[in-house]
Amino acid sequence: MEEQAQELKALFQNENQYTGAERPNHKTRIIAITSGKGGVGKTNLAVNMAIAYGQLGKKVILIDGDLGMANVNVLLNVVPQYNLMNVINHQKKMHEIILDTEFGIRFIAGASGFSKIANLSKEELDYFAKEFASLSDADIIIIDTGAGVANNVLQFVAAADEVYVVTTPEPTAITDPYGIIKIFTTELVNREINLKLLVNRVHSAEEGKRISERIITIVGQFLNYKVDYIGFVYDDPVVQASVIRQKPFIVVNPTSKPATCLNHTVGRSVKTDLGADAGVSNFLKKFLGGKKSK
């Protein structure tokens, strides 16, 4: 692992080494979306947020990193033929597996691709890293990580520039994000992860604020960790309806409460500065070296 991380460091001298450096100061913002338990709305928020960034003129790539429940494609109404594994196996180039969608964003099916990269030989990793670097023309990459503490999820968390932790109101509103953040503090090498709390399915703005304040307080007090409150999303039937129609609510119900909330959240997010180690080239380095080895 450590060795691989070192090799990657040598491999990437700068972000645009393999992409022509058309935009010298350009850095891709990489956002991982996670939660303690499943079913809190990660995939729906990831898809609709990705589209909201796209509507702001950003080039967005959404990656389905959830191995168990790969359902981004259902929400985006696309059927991916290839996924990251095909790139790792040299069957496809990265640009051949990226799907355009009718909603202005691009999509990559992750399958088990990411779980394989930790075991690649130097040559294989070199190849994959060059392919992965071609994604650095995106402004924003959003990774729907799935829930919990699988190796992969922790590596995404370690590697992302921003980690959105999604929670929902009672009964597990507090214990769930607390539990997962506690695991980050013990399992990850770097404590400098940028945690943002997103409270989904609330019935009022006050409810979101109240839940976030409690989480921020106990995480600060017991884990000595800083979490920012990035926003809330109303519980609303348009979410379920858009799942059934396979048309994201941000597109078909742009004035609905959940869409308005997500637009606010995204608007706040794009205004925050990126850290010095942001971007695609740093992502793989952090991905490989981010989790403590047992």
Ligand X SMILES: Nc1ncnc2c1ncn2[C@@H]1O[C@H](COP(=O)(O)OP(=O)(O)O)[C@@H](O)[C@H]1O
Instruction: Give the contacts of 290 (CB within 8 A, at least 6 positions apart).
Output: 154, 155, 157, 158, 159, 188, 189, 190
# residues near ligand X by CB under 6 A: 17
Question: Closest Cα to residue 211, out of 258, 153, 166, 257?
Answer: 166
Of 78, 120, 243, 270, the residue at the interface with ligand X (CB under 6 A) is 243
Contact segment (CB under 6 A) with ligand X among 42-50, 57-65, 135-143, 172-180 equals 42-50
103-to-47, 59, 66, 99, 191 alpha-carbon distances in Å: 10, 12, 21, 11, 36
Return the number of the residue (162 or 236) whose C-beta is nearest ligand X: 236
Site of interaction with Mg ion (CB under 5 A): 42-43, 69
Query: Can you tell me the distance from the alpha carbon of 144 to that of 141, in angstroms, rounded to the nearest whole number?
Result: 10
Bridge partners, 162 (sequence order): 31
- 171 preceded by a cis bond (ω within 30 of 0): yes
Task: Residue 239: name its binding partner from Mg ion, ligand X, none (Cβ under 5 to 8 Å by kind).
Answer: ligand X
Contact segment (CB under 6 A) with ligand X among 34-42, 86-94, 102-110, 124-132 equals 34-42
Per CB under 6 A, 212 contacts ligand X: no
In the complex, residue closest to ligand X by CB: 41
Contact segment (CB under 6 A) with ligand X among 87-95, 101-109, 149-157, 236-244 equals 236-244
- Helix runs in the chain, H state only: 2-11, 42-55, 72-76, 84-88, 94-97, 113-117, 122-133, 151-159, 175-187, 205-223, 237-245, 249-252, 257-271, 280-289
Return the number of the residue (43 or 86) whose C-beta is nearest Mg ion: 43
Per CB under 6 A, 38 contacts ligand X: yes
Which 251-280 positions form the footprint of ligand X (CB under 6 A)? 258
**What is the nearest approach in angstroms of ligand X to the Cβ of residue 186?**
23
Question: CB-based burial of residue 154 (10 Å sphere; 0-12 exposed, 13-18 middle, 19+ buried)?
Answer: buried
Contact segment (CB under 6 A) with ligand X among 52-60, 207-215, 233-241, 282-290 equals 233-241
Bridge partners, 195 (sequence order): 163, 227
Which 47-106 positions form the footprint of ligand X (CB under 6 A)? none
Per CB under 6 A, 200 contacts ligand X: yes
Of 199, 233, 259, 262, the residue at the interface with ligand X (CB under 6 A) is 233
**What is the nearest approach in angstroms of Mg ion to the Cβ of residue 69?**
5
Phi, psi (5° rounding) for residue 190? Answer: -100, 125
**What is the nearest approach in angstroms of ligand X to the Cβ of residue 178?**
17
Which amino acid belongs to residue 100?
Answer: D
- Asked whether 289 and 189 are in contact (CB, 8 A), the reply is yes
Residues that bind ligand X (CB under 6 A): 35, 38-44, 200-201, 233, 235-236, 239-240, 243, 258
